[in-house]
Amino acid sequence: MATVHLLRDDELSPQAQAVFADIRATRQTDFVNNFWRALAHDPAALKRTWESIKAIMGPGALDPKVKEMIYIAVSVAHGCPYCVHSHTASARAKGMSETEYQELLAIVGMASETNRLVTGLGVPIDDAYEVG
C-alpha cells in the first residue's frame, strides 16, 4: 500500500547506497526495512533522517531500550501501525520483555484516558507546575 515504489538495492543512487551501508554497519545486519527503501527516493532526506535517528537513539543519558519504548508510545498515540511494528521489534531486540511491553501499553492507555479527561474538563494548569 505504498504511495511510492520501494527501492531495491540495485535501484539506489550512490548517496542512498552510502546511507544503506551505514545502516547495515551500525545495526550489524544485512536487513534494511521498508521505511528506508521508501525514503531513499530523496537521498538528502534519507541521510538527514538516518543521521538524526542515529544521534538521538544512540548512547546518551537514557537506556537504549527505554528510548525505543518512548518511540513506541509516540507511535501508538499517532496511530502509525508500521511504526509500532518496527519499533516493538527494535525494542525487543534491545531487551524489552513481554511484561515490560504490557506495562508500556498500560501506561499509554492510561495516559490517553486521563489526557482526554483533562481536555474535557478543561483543567487549568496548577501554579505549582509552572516553570519560569
Q: Which of 9, 21, 95, 116 binds a second copy (CB under 8 A)?
A: 116
- Cell numbers that stand for 48 in this block: 538527514
Per DSSP, helices labelled H in 1-132 are: 14-27, 34-39, 43-57, 64-78, 81-93, 98-121
Q: Which of residues 36-55 bind a second copy (CB under 8 A)?
A: 38-39, 41-42, 44-45, 48-49, 52-53, 55
- Cell numbers that stand for 74 in this block: 509516540
**What value does the CA radius of gyration of the chain take, rounded to a whole number of Å?**
18
Instruction: Please identify, using beta-carbon distances, which residue of 21 and 62 lies nearer to a second copy.
Output: 62
CB of 10 to a second copy, least distance (A): 15
Instruction: Please identify, using beta-carbon distances, which residue of 18 and 66 lies nearer to a second copy.
Output: 66
Closest of 84, 60, 48 to residue 36, by C-alpha: 48
Give me the 70-89 binding string for a second copy, x by CB under 8 A, dash otherwise: xxxxxxxxxxxxxxxxxxxx
Residue 21 found at the interface with a second copy (CB under 8 A): no
- 76 CB neighbour count, 10 Å cutoff: 19
Residue 67 found at the interface with a second copy (CB under 8 A): yes
